[in-house]
Structure 1
C-alpha cells in the first residue's frame, strides 16, 4: 500500500461524552440543572443518538427516517437529522437543541486518539500521501488544525461537499484521484464496516479499528504502519 485514507469520527478522533457535551452547552447558556436532571437528560440524549459521532439511536422516529438515511449528503440534512433526534428529549430551553449541534462542531468537542499524531507523522516521514474521507455535514478541517493534525493531511473528502456518502465508492475514488493514488494500492482505515468497507468495491485495502473512547484505544492505529510501505 502506498497511500492511506482515514475516516474521522471513531478512527482518528473521538467525540466527547454525551454528558460532557450537555454540560458544556448548559454552562455556556448559564442554565443550571441539578445532577439528577442533568444525568437523566444526558442518558436520554444518548439513547436518542443525538450526538453526532456518539452512540447510534436506539430508535429512529418515523418522521426522521428518510432524512436519517441521507443525512450526510448536505449540511442542512445533517443538522435536521441530529437536531430532530435531540428534540425527542425535553430540555429547559428549546434553543439548546441547536446549541448542542453547534457545540459538536467545535474542536473542544473532539480528542484525537493517542497514537493518531505518531501514525500520521510517520506516514508523512515515509512520503505516504494521506486523505480523510468522512461522512459528515460540516467542515472538520478546523478540528484537525486545532489539534495539530492538519499538516499531515493532504486532502479532505467530505460527504456533504460532494453530495455523496459512504459506502458509495465514488467518494473514495474522489480521494484517490486527489492524491494521485492507485486505489488498488490504497488502504482505507475506518471503524464502520459498512460505510468504510465501501472502499473495497474500488479495489482498496480496508483495515478496521474499534470505535472506543480514547482512553480505551491507545494504539489502535499503529498496525496501519505495518500495512503501508
Structure 2
C-alpha cells in the first residue's frame, strides 16, 4: 500500500535484497502495484526475472474496472507464478462477479486480498462467488475485523507487519478450535490496531528492534509523549503473545 514511496529501480533492487536474505526459507511475494498498468507490468517482469514466488497488485486509483481487469491479464502474460488480487476501495475495485470471471480468465490468480469497505460483507461476497476457485481469501484493514472475517470466509490477513505475529496467533487459535481464545486476543490487540498510522507502525517496529530510525520520506504527524504512553500501556495486554522481537524501552 505504500508503493509510491519507492522509485522503480530501488524497489526492484530491494526485491533482490529480500530474496538474497530469505534464501528460499519462505515464499517471497513481490508487490507490483503501480501508478499505471505499464509500471505494474514492469514490476511483474522484474519478479519473473528474480524468481519471486508470487506477485500481488492493486489497480491504479480511479482507473475503472476494465483497466483493472486488463492489468491482471497483462501481469499474467509476463509472470508465470501465482497472482494475488488486492481489491481495495479507492483502487478501481472489482465486484464479486467480476473477480469470479477474472479468475476463470486468468487461472494463475489464486488469491484475493479483499479490502473494499466495509470488508466483512465483501469477503462473504467473494467467498460465495469465487471461494471454491481460490486457495485463500485474505483480509486487510490492519486486522480490525478478523473474527467476523473468518466466519465469512477469510483464511488469512495481510496487515502492516508491526503486530503480524500477534494477528497470526488469532488465526492459529481459531483453527485449533479455540474460538474464545482467538476472540479474547483480538479484543486485547484491537486498541493498538485502532491507533495505527504510518508513524505508529514505524514507532512499533523501532520499539521491537526491527528499525533503527523513525525517518520517513513523506513525513506525517509524529507521535507525541501522550501517544507513546498510551501505546506502552496497551502493549502490556499482548506482550506475552509476541513471537520474538519483544518490545524494548521507549
**TM-score above 0.5, yes or no:** no
Query: Counting helix residues as a fraction of each chain, which structure ranks higher?
Result: 2
